[in-house]
Amino acid sequence: MTSKDEKTFGDVVATERKTRKWSLRELADRVPSEKGTAISPQYLNDIEHNRRIPAEAVIEGLAKALGLPEDYLFHLAGKLPPDLAARNASPAVIEAAYKAFRKNLK
């Protein structure tokens, strides 16, 4: 559960879309699905209302279309970017990465 001050993945996508004055259809047409075709406006609506967490390809497409950092959107979605998730890092490397991350949040 998030507090009222915390932005969700859907909140950020919706805010950025509205800032650009794009309709759901306009943004959906700019974002490819994992199959390569554009996502549907209904799927985008579900994302914006936090009913769905999109696939990696959709997160990447939203980042590109909205000009947002991919890593930021992956973080909000609660997922690791594909280049990090695919690695077989040791527990020590993972722990060091999280310590560095936490240090930079302060």
pLDDT in tens, 59-88: 999 999 999 999 999 999 998 888 777 667
Domain covering 9-105, topology: 434 Repressor (Amino-terminal Domain) (1.10.260)
Tokens describing residue 86: 């695919």
Reported pTM: 0.81
In this prediction, residue 63 carries a pLDDT of 98
Question: What is the number of alpha carbons within 13 Å of residue 67 lying toward its C-beta?
Answer: 5
Contacts of 77 (CB under 8 A, 6+ apart): 9, 53, 54, 59
In this prediction, residue 91 carries a pLDDT of 79
Q: Which runs of consecutive H residues, i.e. helices, occur in the chain?
A: 9-19, 24-28, 41-48, 56-66, 70-77, 82-85, 91-105
Give dist(CA 80, CA 59) in Å, integer.
11
Tokens describing residue 32: 């490819």
In this prediction, residue 1 carries a pLDDT of 44
- Strand, coil or helix: 51: coil
In this prediction, residue 93 carries a pLDDT of 77
Q: Which residues does the chain have with pLDDT short of 70? A: 1-5, 86-87, 89, 106
